[in-house]
Structure 1
Amino acid sequence: MSDHHKFGTHLPRSAGESLLFVLVISLISVNIIPVIISGLSIGFTLDMWLGVLRVLPLLWVVVVAVVLLTRKPAMWLTGLVVRKGDSFRAHIFADTLCSVLLISVILTVVGTWIGTWSLTSGPLVHFFESWPRNFMIAFVVEALLAQPLARLAMRGYHRRVDRRSDATAQTA
């Protein structure tokens, strides 16, 4: 499959599809990343996991908002790294890297506030200790799990839509 074809089948084609894409990625990410980060910070216990589950709905809404807020800056950064003729993989890697970079900066602070239900200076004071680990965890989950699964879902969705469209065109 050509790189040009992958841009049209593996990625959203409309605003509605983009929202669905973000929702799939964020649902996967928000169920894995905070659990790993919290577990590494305070230990992997049932209490830790239940604590993450309690804040998950709010955290998910905040994650989606941060993704939408950082989308244009991430695209601008990605444009500094890749060019139009670069491969699909190069574009996806750079976009994932730039997106996770920006999102992780914000969520290292805001996510801690949500997770602890406390607006303290702690996440700011310890930012440079916490952020590199948080970034790497988020990048690995995004690059190896969340985004590939979302692209796979998008590809399956586009196959069904395109088949339906082709069948409609043939009967017309």
Structure 2
Amino acid sequence: MHLEDRLPQNPKEGVLFMLIISILSVNTIAPIIVGMERGFSVAHYVDTLKIIPFAWIALIVLIRFIVKPLAGILFNRFAGQTDGFNARILLNIVLNVSMISFVMTIIGPWIGMGELNFGTLEHFFPTWFRNFGIAFWIELLFAQPIARAVMKSIHTRKRLKTA
């Protein structure tokens, strides 16, 4: 999959790919989750915008140091050699979103409240399943396709320049 036009092919493209996905994800998933928790309103949306930079930083650190290495190990264990591109992408999304939503369900409210409050763990599993569902569909239908389209566009332009 390294030479797939829809995926990053060097570290610089990898950073761009991660930035696109993370920015799109945080700016859609967080407002939806907060809206479902507190109600959908302009005031709640504005409150969400205030915490998004902190949630985004936490997300990047989480992905870089925990999720990416662990998801890579699990991906190699479960992905078949003959699996197609879409099957591999879907497995990657499921693994990453599962881990990210698990951890962010715990630390997301801490970031939003500005304090460590273990009361949020009382309803962890119903909240996590809801958060996973929201994040999974945003990743599958919105964030990842846009990032892959950007990568494909970059690679097409590079090929046209060299031709």
- Distance (whole Å) between structure 2 residues aligned to residue 140 and residue 113 of structure 1: 24
The answer for the alignment partner of 1:51 in structure 2 is 47
1:150 aligns with 2:153: no
Amino acid at match of 1:34: A
Unaligned runs of 5+ in 1: 168-172
Match of 1:141 among 115, 119, 138: 138
Deviation at 1:71, TM superposition (A): 0.5
Match of 2:16 among 7, 15, 20: 20
Unaligned runs of 5+ in 2: none
Amino acid at match of 1:128: F
- Distance (whole Å) between structure 2 residues aligned to residue 7 and residue 72 of structure 1: 21
The answer for the alignment partner of 2:4 in structure 1 is 8
1:108 aligns with 2:101: no
How far does the alpha carbon of each residue in 1:81-110 deviate from its partner, in whole angstroms, 9 at most, with x for none? 221221000000000000001111110011
Moved more, 30-39 or 117-126: 117-126
The answer for the alignment partner of 1:32 in structure 2 is 28
- Distance (whole Å) between structure 2 residues aligned to residue 49 and residue 161 of structure 1: 39
The answer for the alignment partner of 1:170 in structure 2 is none
TM-score of the superposition, structure 1-length normalised? 0.89
CA RMSD of aligned residues (A): 1.4
- Distance (whole Å) between structure 1 residues aligned to residue 63 and residue 32 of structure 2: 20
Report if aligned partners of 1:29, 1:141 keep a CA contact under 8 Å in 2.
Answer: yes
The answer for the alignment partner of 1:65 in structure 2 is 61
User: Aligned with 1:110: secondary structure?
Assistant: helix
Deviation at 1:68, TM superposition (A): 1.3
- Distance (whole Å) between structure 2 residues aligned to residue 118 and residue 43 of structure 1: 21
Deviation at 1:135, TM superposition (A): 0.5
- The count of aligned residue pairs is 162
Deviation at 1:79, TM superposition (A): 2.1
Deviation at 1:14, TM superposition (A): 1.1
- Distance (whole Å) between structure 2 residues aligned to residue 18 and residue 103 of structure 1: 18
- Higher CA-based Rg: 1
Amino acid at match of 1:61: I
The answer for the alignment partner of 2:89 in structure 1 is 92
